[in-house]
A = this chain, B = another copy of it.
């Protein structure tokens, strides 16, 4: 017996208990991952970077990325669902922009790290 004891209790129970106490709850963790997931795709990262500089419509973003406006629309839907972008309608067009200053901060911080 005593098999897998390590994986059940861990080798450093005191340290584990400290970490457990501060660990965010499951829902917060999922929300956190959703935010990072939104930033974790080249297309969406380009979209968000562009919107951090200018308010743009779907066509602009399609042109910028070289993808179809359908593809962009799908991604914007996801970004809207995560409340990372908001939009306003004007005639036929939909103008998108960042919903939150936090997003810009995350992007810039990530870029800073990406460039070492």
With contact pairs A33-B39, A56-B15 given, residues A102 and B106 touching in the complex (Cβ less than 8 Å): no
Contact of A111 among B6, B12, B24 (CB under 8 A): B24
With contact pairs A6-B59, A102-B109 given, residues A11 and B93 touching in the complex (Cβ less than 8 Å): yes
Q: CB distance A63 to B8 under 8 Å? A: yes
Q: CB distance A9 to B111 under 8 Å? A: no
The quantity of this chain's copies bound in the complex is 2
Q: CB distance A19 to B59 under 8 Å? A: no
Interface residues of A in 62-105 (CB under 8 A from B): 62-64, 68-69, 93, 100, 102-103, 105
Contact of A113 among B45, B102, B111 (CB under 8 A): B102
Q: CB distance A60 to B12 under 8 Å? A: yes
Q: How far is the CA of A93 from the CA of B59 in the complex (A)?
A: 54
The 24 sampled A-B contact pairs (Cβ below 8 Å) are A6-B62, A6-B63, A7-B68, A11-B57, A11-B93, A12-B56, A12-B60, A15-B54, A15-B60, A16-B64, A24-B49, A29-B45, A31-B114, A33-B42, A35-B114, A36-B36, A36-B39, A36-B40, A100-B113, A102-B113, A103-B113, A106-B109, A106-B113, A109-B109
